[in-house]
Amino acid sequence: EAGVAQSPRYKIIEKRQSVAFWCNPISGHATLYWYQQILGQGPKLLIQFQNNGVVDDSQLPKDRFSAERLKGVDSTLKIQPAKLEDSAVYLCASSLDQGYSYEQYFGPGTRLTVT
């Protein structure tokens, strides 16, 4: 079974530029998550999708971050404009969420450096 795919793996941009990250979840997984992991901290949930709909985006800085999940499969996370404090690893995860199968599977992450 293929895992969660993310691209790019690394990205360096200047502040005020825009950037987009892509995630392809495990086939059949209804729920998709984006986490932000700042160096020295645990991952923090930014947004959770179930199929096409947003379940939780309470910690998404909506003035600069946006995310979409078209057709309930792939997802993109965008930052525009980027700030220095956005430097972090952005992790995508997915889960089946049927019965007791709620385990989240994580992708390798995208390391963003904002200079």
Do β-strands 19-24 and 5-7 pair in parallel, antiparallel, or remain unpaired? antiparallel
99 lines the binding site for another protein (CB under 8 A): no
Task: Round to whole Å and give the CA distance between 17 and 39.
Answer: 21
7 φ, ψ (degrees, to nearest 5): -150, 155
Using rule CB under 8 A, residue 103 touches another protein: yes
Can residue 4 be called a binding residue for another protein (CB under 8 A)? yes
Tell me: does residue 101 bind another protein (CB under 8 A): no
Return the residue of 7, 45, 72, 113 that touches another protein, per CB under 8 A. Answer: 45
For residues 14 and 85, which CB has a smaller minimum distance to another protein in the complex? Answer: 85
